[in-house]
Homo-oligomer: A and B are copies of this chain.
Amino acid sequence: MKRLLITGAAGNVGKMARERLAHLADTIRLSDIAPMDPAGPNEEVIQCDLADYDAVNQLVQGCDGILHLGGVSVERTYDLIESGNLRGVHNLYEAARANGMPRIVFASSNHTIGYYPQDQRLTTDMPTRPDGWYGISKVFGEAVAQMYHAKFGQETALVRIGSCFERPVDRRMMATWFSYDDFCSLMERIFAVPKLGCPVIWGVSANTCGWWDNSHVNWLGWSPKDNSETYREEVEKLPPRPADAPDVLWQGGMFTADPIFKD
């Protein structure tokens, strides 16, 4: 690619992506509503509010790939979610349409299906069950991407990210952990295949105790290498969880216990 835009570049996943995905394009354009580290070589840094269409339109100009990590990434007030994850997604897709429809990775989330119990194996064609307003906003984002694909041919990888951390740090992450290496190899495949379409992909490593079946995207040629079992001993040292705790019952974990935030 000539220029890859990474939104949400001030967040943890964004920072990791900045570090590790530089080889994917001649220039990496980084954006966030929050301040970021200054631009290094082959980098452009642009602070931008996703709710501002003109700003987003400028941001997207000249990019031939977008890794959209931007917006709210946990349960927040409706106002914040509307701004970053509803209007923000609208703006991003309209800007993409106006600028040659660069391929997009949309960071969707396991919170689109958070209300499935942890003993159920999921495929991506099962109905969504969001666990809060954040999860709803990701259902919305997936719907936007699919509509732009059907109507205009815009391609998006809808990656339902599990828990993208250096290592699993609680019991639920034994199932949901998405290692940095596996994240990056997935990005490589998404931008490498000649035709992407608009698939939903579980963003998760090859965890023995995982819940999600990715066999429908074998054609991508992606095979995650990491397995949370490496860390089981360590994780099992954590205090045990009661059988009726939200993070034992539901795939979405503690998000299911979140209230509706008012501010």
Q: Which residues of A contact B (CB under 8 A)?
A: 78, 82, 86-87, 90, 94, 97, 115, 118-121, 125-133, 135-136, 139-140, 143-144, 146-147, 150-151, 171, 174-175, 192, 194-195, 197, 199, 208-211, 213, 215-223, 229, 232, 236, 240-245, 248-249, 256, 260
Q: Give Cα A120 to B240, complex, Å.
A: 35
Known: A125-B126, A139-B139, A140-B140. A119 touches B219 (CB 8 A): yes
A208, B223: Cβ atoms closer than 8 Å: yes
Q: How far is the CB of A54 from chain B (nearest CB, A)?
A: 14
Given the known interface contacts A128-B143, A249-B195, the answer about A121 and B82 at a Cβ–Cβ threshold of 8 Å is: no
Q: Which of B131, B144, B197, B241 contacts A194 (CB 8 A)?
A: B241
Q: Besides the contacts A130-B143, A136-B144, A194-B242, what 19 more A-B pairs have beta carbons closer than 8 Å?
A: A78-B87, A94-B260, A97-B260, A115-B147, A115-B150, A128-B146, A129-B150, A131-B147, A131-B150, A135-B143, A139-B139, A140-B143, A174-B221, A175-B219, A194-B245, A195-B243, A210-B218, A210-B219, A221-B232
Given contacts A82-B87, A135-B147, A219-B118, contact A243 B194 (CB under 8 A): yes
Q: Are B209 and A218 in contact (CB under 8 A)?
A: yes
Instruction: Assess A132 versus B151: contact at CB under 8 Å? Given A139-B139, A194-B243.
Output: yes
- As for how many copies of this chain the complex holds, the number is 6
List the 4 shortest-distance A-B pairs measured between CB atoms, nearest first: A209-B221, A195-B243, A115-B150, A139-B143
Nearest B residue to A125 via CB reads B127
Report the Cα distance A232→B131, complex, angstroms: 38
A248-B193 Cα distance, complex, nearest whole Å: 9
Question: Which residue of B is nearest A116, CB measured?
Answer: B150
Q: How far is the CB of A124 from chain B (nearest CB, A)?
A: 8
Given known pairs A130-B146, A242-B194, the reply for A216 and B139 (CB within 8 Å) is: no
- What residues of B have a CB within 8 angstroms of the CB of A143 in the complex? 128, 130, 135-136, 139-140
Given the complex of chains A and B, what is the CA–CA distance between A213 and B123 in angstroms? 15
Name 7 A/B residue pairs within 8 A (Cβ), A-sorted.
Answer: A119-B217, A121-B219, A136-B140, A139-B140, A140-B140, A151-B256, A209-B220
B residues less than 8 Å from A94 (CB atoms): 78, 260
- Please give the distance in Å from A75's CB to the nearest CB on chain B: 11
Bound-state CA distance A92–B192 (Å) is: 44
Do A130 and B118 touch (CB < 8 A)?
A: no
Cβ contact within 8 Å between B147 and A132: yes
